[in-house]
Amino acid sequence: MNDLSKLMFHLIASGSEEAGAAGHGGEHAAHHATSYWATMALTGLTLLVIGFLLVKAKSGFTNRTFRGVISQSSEQLYLFIENMCVGTIGSHGRKYVPMILSFWLIIFFSNVIALFVGASPTSVLSFNLGMALVSIGYVQYEGIKSNGVFGHFSHFAGPKLGGPLVIISAMIFVIEIISEVMKNVSLSLRLFGNINGGHQAVDAMNKISFLPLGELLIPIKLLTCLVQAMIFCLLTCVYLSLVTHHDEDHGHEGHGELAAAH
Partner 1 sequence: MSQTSSSVPTPVKVVVGLALFVGGAFLHSSWHPEFYKTLEGQGVPLDFGITLSAIGVLLFTFPIIDMFFVKPLQAALHERNSALETTFSEVEELRNEMTTMKSNYEKQLAATEADAREKINSQIKEAQALRQSVMSEATEKADALVKQAQEEINMEKNRVLADLRSHVTDLALAAAEKVVAENMDTDRNRKLIADFVQQAEVAK
| Residue ranges that bind partner 1, judged by CB under 8 A | 13, 16-17, 20, 25, 28-29, 32-33, 35-36, 39-40, 43, 47, 50, 54, 57-58, 61, 64, 66, 74-75, 78, 92, 94-99, 101-102, 105-106, 121, 124-127, 129-131, 133-134
Q: Choose between 115 and 136: whose C-beta lies nearer to partner 1.
A: 136
User: How far apart are CB 84 and partner 1 at their closest, in Å?
Assistant: 15
Sign of the C-alpha dihedral, residues 72, 239, 130, 226?
negative
Q: Choose between 185 and 222: whose C-beta lies nearer to partner 1.
A: 185
Q: Choose between 63 and 209: whose C-beta lies nearer to partner 1.
A: 63
* Spatial CB neighbours of 141, under 8 Å, sequence gap ≥ 6: none
User: How far apart are CB 64 and partner 1 at their closest, in Å?
Assistant: 5
Q: Choose between 18 and 248: whose C-beta lies nearer to partner 1.
A: 18
Give whole-number Cα distances, 156 to 110, 175, 238, in Å.
34, 8, 16
Give the whole-angstrom CA distance, residue 120 versus residue 178: 29
Give the whole-angstrom CA distance, residue 157 versus residue 174: 8
User: How far apart are CB 129 and partner 1 at their closest, in Å?
Assistant: 5
- The string of DSSP letters for 21-64 reads HHT-HHHHHHHHHHHHHHHHHHHHHHHHHHHHHHHHHHTTTTSS
Q: Choose between 121 and 214: whose C-beta lies nearer to partner 1.
A: 121
User: How far apart are CB 25 and partner 1 at their closest, in Å?
Assistant: 7
User: How far apart are CB 95 and partner 1 at their closest, in Å?
Assistant: 3
Inter-residue contact 195 to 49 (CB < 8 Å) = no
User: How far apart are CB 20 and partner 1 at their closest, in Å?
Assistant: 5
Q: Choose between 66 and 108: whose C-beta lies nearer to partner 1.
A: 66
Give the whole-angstrom CA distance, residue 246 versus residue 65: 38
Inter-residue contact 127 to 113 (CB < 8 Å) = no
